[in-house]
Structure 1
């Protein structure tokens, strides 16, 4: 279980996250919605320990988050892959937390870690491309390698920060489908931040709507009405949803 209590993060006079509280049961798939600057990325960075909150607390299974943790994995908007390396070797870097620095330099991983890398690549549909250089892959394929790397970490909590923001609609849907599949197969608690409402509604289970650093909506798909979307995003996004529904 993930419990966030009265979490706030400020950068000088800018309040990026403002007194946010919520609880996520084990295995729930949550999408964080909001415009750019709403506080989504800061919230996720606090959850994975990369950013220290100004106040409030985060616990995972009762243990406070006070820095990066091996049981919390992150899929980033920018892939942060080593393009000269194969998809398989990039996925293997998810096991660095279980491998000594010396062994990692020599590429010495346990048989279990090697199996996990292949299993993760199979989960994201890239087992046949495991030997391909990441630099030769499409953006969607690279993001799927990033998902595989996160899975090799063997996390209890999977975070995805705008994982499809730079992808075309078809690739975005494919990547989100693999994230959802991986979470379901492994029973992972998952938070994915998105700004594309239609994709969010297709793959999300529960939704947190953020605006100006605050969570202004916490509910499920049937509760995510046009009026709620209007409150989170404003009229432009709402009209786009209405137009698509009418089409």
Structure 2
């Protein structure tokens, strides 16, 4: 039984805007998947369908045996913008991941269960921020804030972790750190993870499997060895499209004559 299953999923906005076009994908438990594709390809819609925030027009989405419908507490989400409460500490922000179990009124009085408080500290430790647990979120760097966002998602104790362009606003060093902590957390917890990225070099460094989306359709599904320069060109530009810009080409260093990517 795959951890995540999409069967013939189509999403149409309005009368004719097709965001997803008959997508079928099966992801085993514990796999770290990176979704690649140009802006407007359907990556964010795919994640919204998986977390239940957007209902597919056609098809079925399941996590394990259960169909997805409505906001799903079994799905943790890491956003491009971290959406932390900057006046609160990293610990208190991470602890809000337990709101679904605690309730809003009880949370106002910090009436969280002991196991949830422990989970928040453990999650901060997982992302390398235990020593900064009492630091106010507003005084943290962008990379630290995003790591707190990951900790908050982990406190939910989800079956599936989704990340929508989680490092788009970060410098290369901070982006690599955030992806490294996310990958470590997923491995430690055997947590199925799906992250959308634009940075192909980061995708290749941390992904186990890569799904390329263009114009709402899956145009690539393979491992690191299969993600060649030609494959990336096809994901972003299609057969016969323009040559990729230099910035994209630089994601692939030391390209051989056969255009294979060295390991």
Q: Quick check: 1:246 aligned with 2:254? A: yes
Aligned residues: 247
Match of 2:56 in 1: 53
What SS class does the counterpart of residue 210 from structure 1 fall into? strand
Residues 135-146 of structure 1 mapped to structure 2, 5 A cutoff: 135-146=138-149
Shift of 1:101: 2.5
- Deviations along 1:145-171, one digit per CA (max 9) or x if unpaired, are 000000000001000000000101110
Q: Which moved more, 1:231-240 or 1:130-139?
A: 231-240
Residues 1:10 and 2:18 aligned together: no
Tell me how far 1:68 sits from its aligned partner. 1.3
How far does residue 40 in structure 1 lie from its aligned partner after superposition? 0.4
The alignment's TM-score, normalised by the length of structure 1, stands at 0.97
Does residue 124 of structure 1 match 2:106? no
- Residue number among 187, 210, 214 corresponding to 2:213 in the alignment: 210
Equivalence for 1:69:
72
Hey, what's the Cα distance between the residues in 1 that align with 2:103 and 2:4?
A: 29
- The Cα shift of 1:246 comes to 3.5
Could you tell me which runs of 5 or more consecutive residues in structure 2 were left unpaired when the two chains were aligned: 238-242, 256-263
Higher helix share: 1
TM-score of the two chains, using structure 2 as the length reference: 0.91
Secondary structure, in 3 states, of the residue corresponding to 1:246? coil
Whether the 8 Å CA contact 2:7–2:60 is kept in 1: the answer is yes
Q: Identify unmatched segments of 5+ residues in structure 1.
A: none
8 Å CA contact 1:164, 1:175 repeated in 2? yes
By relative contact order (CA 8 Å, sep 6+), the higher-ranking structure is 1
